[in-house]
Amino acid sequence: MAMYNLCKKNSIVPFIDLNLGRSKNISYYQGISVSPDGVPICPEGLRMKTNGNDLRRQYAKFRCPLNNGGVCSCVHPCSDSKFGRTFSIPMESNIRLYTSPPRGSDEWKTMYNKRTSSERCNKQIKLDSLLEICKHRSTKLWYVRLYLILMLQHLSHWNIQ
């Protein structure tokens, strides 16, 4: 949570994986429980679908998982609305779970993939090329070695036929 608070204070949007091994379902109000990854579970036991965020009010919105084209096809509907059950959770209640953009959305997946690709690149530079093991005394030698590693990395990603 401290990392999320620091990012929020500095207007940074964090894309950090959840550790689901240490989490459990959270009981919420109105007969709804929330899974470890922050998705509400409807009374039928199904995971609700994200319905975006209301950034003006700072709420994460969820809707009935059986809503098909604006009509809920639930056998035992838990709401009188033909749209089905909707549920909003204040994003401030857990800024780790309710991010903007919402976890699992296409925008979140795109940004997360960019983050993981940069991490793979850094791992290749540091560990595979043994950059940190070298004992150079001069910063010029560090830069020469780093530039050579970057050139080799660039060449290795070319598709030479």
pLDDT of residue 26: 61
Same domain for 150 and 116, yes or no, is: yes
Listed residues 56, 81, 98: the one ending a domain: 98
- pLDDT for residue 120 is more than 60: yes
| Higher pLDDT among residues 68 and 158, named by residue | 158
Same domain for 120 and 51, yes or no, is: no
- pLDDT for residue 82 is more than 60: yes
Band of pLDDT at residue 25, cut at 50, 70 and 90: low
Structure tokens at 155: 């060449």
Please list the alpha-helical segments (H only) found in the chain. Answer: 2-9, 106-123, 139-156
E strands present in 69-114: 71-72, 86-90
Give me the mean pLDDT over the 81-110 stretch.
77
| Higher pLDDT among residues 13 and 30, named by residue | 13
Residue type, 134: C
Give me the mean pLDDT over the 29-37 stretch.
70
Same domain for 24 and 86, yes or no, is: yes
d(CA 45, CA 23): 18
d(CA 140, CA 72): 66
- pLDDT for residue 144 is more than 80: yes
Give me the mean pLDDT over the 13-17 stretch.
78
Q: Is the C-alpha dihedral spanning 91, 97, 103, 107 positive or negative?
A: positive
Question: How much is the mean pLDDT over the chain?
Answer: 77
In degrees to the nearest 10, what's the CA dihedral of 53, 55, 60, 63?
Answer: -40
Please indicate, yes or no, if residue 43 is contained in any of the structural domains.
Answer: yes
Distance from the first to the final alpha carbon of the chain: 48
Band of pLDDT at residue 28, cut at 50, 70 and 90: low
pLDDT of residue 69: 65
- pLDDT for residue 161 is more than 50: no
Segments forming the whole domain that contains residue 36: 18-98
d(CA 147, CA 161): 25
pLDDT of residue 35: 77
d(CA 45, CA 71): 19
Same domain for 130 and 80, yes or no, is: no
Name beta bridge partners: 155: none
